[in-house]
Every structure is written in structure tokens, then in C-alpha cells.
Structure 1
């Protein structure tokens, strides 16, 4: 499905730095309108995408009034999700609550053939968000068949454990089936695109050591030992060092990269383990503590350091030549807020095939 050539038109909302846009462009969508409230993200978008992005909130009539496209094939985007986290306490009157509904306001206005609304996993399954979820499903069902899938980015070639919800709609005029049929179509199409990710170690080695010409954008936040370590069974959980940026296993995948990166919330790696083949310092120190050893104090050894901007881009599967605007902290924030392009492309490919008629054909065959 990656080899499609015919382009569909798309409107991108809450575009950020353009992670979803990269994936949907790769699947054959021509993005005719993009929007975000973050100035740095808009500047990044302009550096990498040919289409124009409009800065401002969708709740601003000046921005919403620009959405006059006709015959749009797709509306996609990821409304702000902080309030829908596991610990979220979303106020129905909070602007973020209004913004997720503003996505469907645009769907109602443009009547696209399809829509894709991305958000955190918690919104897709927690009972506390059941009413919000049901309201969104009702809005989507006005003119579309709808289905909800929860995906882990690692299943689609992304070296990062990042679970996200995708609410997908295909217009009733082009999908001759039920919501249940659409659910089956999506799951089957996505299963066909599963791919094994590379490892954190592979990515870091491909870029070179931090501070080198090919990996220059380093994080300066120091790593010190936690005075009162919080231990878990895994060396890569708990808290053995300062800050919320935990160590990453070199031979596996990263945990979810947060938008708060850039300081001591930036994940940690072990250069000596990755480049020189030495035993993991993190695992060794974890064993020491688990066996009753005293916590160490002061700075951790220099072999431990935090992920660079370029490593974070690669872990998110942005193209190698992707450029970022803004300060170093703004760059980390944009990366952490993004949907991994490879994950977005997997969803986009299935939607594109549905627009091509593949979904209807599959339903008919069944």
C-alpha cells in the first residue's frame, strides 16, 4: 500500500511539527490546509512541508473561517490530550475539552469522505472517559461509519513504546458496511502492516556519539544519583537518578518520549554500552541497590547521558533530513508532542485503501 500514486486531499488539524502529516503524505494525501497554535511548530512545519500552515486556535473565528475547502477527502489530527491522561481531571468547560469537539465541528462543516482523530490511549478505553468517548462516537456517526483502534507504535516499526487511540470514520456513501465491518477492515489492514522496530542502540550508533558532527544537538541536563532511589523489578523503571527521564534499554525500545524533554525529564542512555560493548552500568547499579547496597551520591559517570534532539527525531521515525525551528527545549517539545510518522502512515494507508474502494470490496467479499 506504500506505493500508491493518486493523491487525496486532506485537512490537517492540530498539526504540530507535522508527524502525522509526514505519514499521511507518504500514503498519498495532499494536505491543503494545516493548523496549529504553537508558533515554533508552525515554523518547523513550514521548513518541511510545501503546504501552508495557519497559526492560531481553531476556536478563533479567524482561523476557523479559513476552512472553506470543498470536496475534502480527509480530515485528520490529534487534539490536545493532556486532560485525557490516566491521571487527567478534565473539566468539561476546559478549552481542551472544547478543542476535541472542534475537530468534529470541522468534520461537520467540510463533510469529508473520511476522518482520523488521534489521542491518548486512556481516552480510548478508560471508564472515566466513557461519556466523552461515546459523545465523540455519536458525532462521528452522523455521516460516517466509525471504528476505534488502540495501537502501539512498536508494532509498526517505531522503536518506542507509544500507545495511541485512533478514531476512524469512512463516509456511508463510500463504505457499504456497518461499524463492525469497518472495525474488522481496519484491524485486518493494520495487521498486514506490522513491522519489527530497530533498537535504541542501533539508532544511537547510526548517528554517532553525542556532540559529534552527525549528532550535535545535545541535552545539557546533568545526571545525578537519586538520594532515595525508588526501585522496581526492572532497572529501567523506578527512579535511580534525578528527574523523570529514566534510562532506556540499549537492546530494546524507548519508552514514550514526553513533550517535557529537554531537561532532566529527557531519557538516559549508556554510551559505553552502546559504542564499546561494555556491560550496562544501569543494570549493574540496579543489582547493587537490589542487593542492599548503599545509594551513591553526586554525578553519575559521563558514560551516561541524555538523548539528543536527533536521536529523539529518529526514535519518532521522522525523516533523517527533518528540520526543527525554535529553541532546544522547543525542539524537544515538538518531538514529544508528535505522532510517529511510521505509525501515522500505517493508519493512513488503510484509510487511503478504503477511499480507493478497497474497504467496500472487502466487505462485499465477506
Structure 2
């Protein structure tokens, strides 16, 4: 442990949503590795002294490079979300997609650093696709290294996140203990809603806003107070200029509706499942994706800004995104909600502290 804080490496870190949650839970992030430069710029800015490493996790030399960059410090936890395109229900479901085996780089990292625990995150479909072969292989590989594995799909609204999102987590503890997942802190009758999350963020009536701006209204919910706690400035809240035709179509979608609620002949260019979806103010948002063309504000006739999507993902307002706007949307959509990372990190700390206490007792 570094400075009495458990240490973390974040593999496939992206902008670092999962490890941001661990920072908030009292961990020290040593390093994040990814092959997206703009995401790494975001990671570096928001993760203190952590090293942001640009690397290809297909390469066998990468693990040694990671160790060198952190001066071979002890690593307590390795977290990561290998790309899920091969398993995602919206992807190709190609059983032989090389990205399906990227978890092997996490196996190699765990084998090298021998952390007390690891967390592997992916889409829920990973547990059942190809008759569960991928899930069984993950469990088998890490069990071979001496880890007791437990896995569970977590539902984001249960943990105070204003977004309908499910993610599968594998947690492995070194030794014989089994990790128990954190219990929900919310129920359907008190989920954080879209309005709770973003109603304080101004509309764009006279201009599209600026990358750095001031709040124009006070917080209107406890969630908004929490999001604004560490900043007096608003980042990444920039609007999108739509054509008059697109604005007209959006205006005809009722709150909580989608393309199925449009009159015949309207919005014909987009008729897939998520097309022309307007959020509902009193419910969590739909799952934030990597694009920004299909979901719309619950009352304004536009797509949400990067900051609004970040709020719905539980990124606090002091977390600043870099790259062009398309890259920022992608970073937000690809991320694990920091609040999920926070609750997992808090729960995992119980096991890490117990492990440290036993080690100290044995030393004495």
C-alpha cells in the first residue's frame, strides 16, 4: 500500500471512470493504460499522479513496461474492462473476435503483479454467450493463479446512478475468501432521475455555450449538489447545432417516447430500437452510448451535452474531458460509472484491510 492507500492499476482505462470511483473510495491509482490518446489525456488530468500509458495490450512486452513505469511498486488491485465488442449484444457476436481474448492481458498482469484482488468488467451478455465458454475461461484462468472468483451483474440505478445500465463484474480475491458484492442503496421508488441529475444545467438559447462556463442556476437536488461539490466552474457543457428538420422531429417525440411515437412519415431515416429516444424527466436515462445522435433531452429539442451525459454516468463536474466533442462523447459512453467503482472500491477495502491486518499479525 502507498501512503496507507491501496494501490490500483487500471487496464483498458479509457478516461478512467472505474478508477475514478476507486480514488473517491480512498485508493491510489498508479497507472492507467489504453490505446486512445484523447482518453488518456482525460485520464491523466483527472487521476492525480497516476501514469497515463499509451500501449497495445496485444503486445507481450507491455506488462514489463507497466512495471517499469511504476518503479516496480506493489500493486494491491488491478481493474479493467477489456473491449466488449465481441460479446456485446449490439456488436457482431463473433466468437473468434480477437478482442474476446484481451482478458488474457489481464491474466498476465495479475500473474506478474500478484495483487490482492482484481476486478474485470464487461457486458452482461458475456456470462451466457457461446454457452458461457468465455465466462468459464475467465474463471478458470484466474482460479489457476490462486484467486477465488465471484461474479454478478450490477444495475446502475441501484447505486444512485441516474442511468439504466447493467454491467457484469468478476471480482477475484487472492486466497479462499469470496467477495460479497455491495448491496443496493436505492430502490425503484427513489432512483435518481434525469431531472434530479441535469435540471440545473442551462439550455442553449442564445449560443451553444463554452467549454468552460459558469453555472446559471443553483443546484436543485442532492445529486446536483454532490456533482458540483468540488468546482465552481462548468466544463464540457456545449450544445449541438441541429438542423431545423431534426429539431422539428425531436419536438414531436413525447417525454419518454421514441420513433414509434412519431406520426407516419416523420423521422423515417431512423427507425431502429433507440432512434429518436427522448429521456423521461422522472426516470433514469437510457444507457449512455458512445454516439450522440439518438437520445434527446427530456424537455429541450437537442441531444444532451457531454456534461449532461457525464452527469448521467455519475462523473462529478470537476472531471474534465479532453479531445474533440465526438471523442468526449465516446469517452463518456465507454466508461464505467464512477459511482459503481466507488461502491465496489469501498466494499473491496473491507477485504484488503482484513488481509493487511492478518499480515501484520503474522509479522508480529
TM interval, shorter chain, is: 0.7 to 0.9
Give unmatched runs, 5+ long, in structure 1: 272-302, 362-366
How big is the shift at 1:120?
0.6
Is the Cα–Cα contact under 8 Å of residues 236 and 249 in structure 1 kept in the other structure?
no
Determine which of 133, 136, 156 is the counterpart of 2:135: 133
Match of 1:284 in 2: none
Match of 2:183 in 1: 191
Question: 1:87-236 to 2 correspondence within 5 Å?
Answer: 87-124=90-127, 126-128=128-130, 130-142=132-144, 143-172=146-175, 176-177=176-177, 182=178, 185-187=179-181, 190-191=182-183, 193-194=185-186, 196-210=190-204, 211=208, 213=213, 214=215, 216-222=237-243, 223=246, 235-236=257-258
Measured in 1, the distance between the counterparts of 2:89 and 2:357 equals 36
Determine which of 72, 77, 81 is the counterpart of 1:74: 77
Give unmatched runs, 5+ long, in structure 2: 216-233, 359-364
Question: 1:1-366 to 2 correspondence within 5 Å?
Answer: 6-50=4-48, 51-68=50-67, 69-124=72-127, 126-128=128-130, 130-142=132-144, 143-172=146-175, 176-177=176-177, 182=178, 185-187=179-181, 190-191=182-183, 193-194=185-186, 196-210=190-204, 211=208, 213=213, 214=215, 216-222=237-243, 223=246, 235-236=257-258, 238=260, 240=262, 241=267, 243=270, 244-261=275-292, 264-265=293-294, 267-271=295-299, 303-357=300-354
Is the Cα–Cα contact under 8 Å of residues 203 and 315 in structure 1 kept in the other structure?
yes
- Give the TM-score of the pair, scaled to structure 2: 0.77
SS in 1 for 2:102: helix
Is the Cα–Cα contact under 8 Å of residues 270 and 305 in structure 1 kept in the other structure?
no
SS in 2 for 1:115: strand
Measured in 1, the distance between the counterparts of 2:248 and 2:157 equals 30
Task: Identify if the C-alpha distance between structure 1 residues 102 and 224 changes in structure 2 by more than 3 Å, giving closer, same or farther.
Answer: same
Measured in 2, the distance between the counterparts of 1:21 and 1:27 equals 10
SS in 2 for 1:15: coil
Measured in 2, the distance between the counterparts of 1:62 and 1:31 equals 22
How big is the shift at 1:76?
0.3
Measured in 2, the distance between the counterparts of 1:250 and 1:194 equals 18
SS in 2 for 1:357: helix
How big is the shift at 1:87?
4.9
- Give the TM-score of the pair, scaled to structure 1: 0.76
Is the Cα–Cα contact under 8 Å of residues 34 and 53 in structure 2 kept in the other structure?
yes
Is the Cα–Cα contact under 8 Å of residues 306 and 328 in structure 2 kept in the other structure?
yes
Is the Cα–Cα contact under 8 Å of residues 147 and 167 in structure 1 kept in the other structure?
yes
Measured in 2, the distance between the counterparts of 1:250 and 1:121 equals 26
Q: CA RMSD in A?
A: 2.9
Is the Cα–Cα contact under 8 Å of residues 123 and 129 in structure 1 kept in the other structure?
no
Measured in 2, the distance between the counterparts of 1:337 and 1:31 equals 19
Task: Identify if the C-alpha distance between structure 1 residues 236 and 61 changes in structure 2 by more than 3 Å, giving closer, same or farther.
Answer: same
> How many aligned positions are there?
308
SS in 2 for 1:58: coil
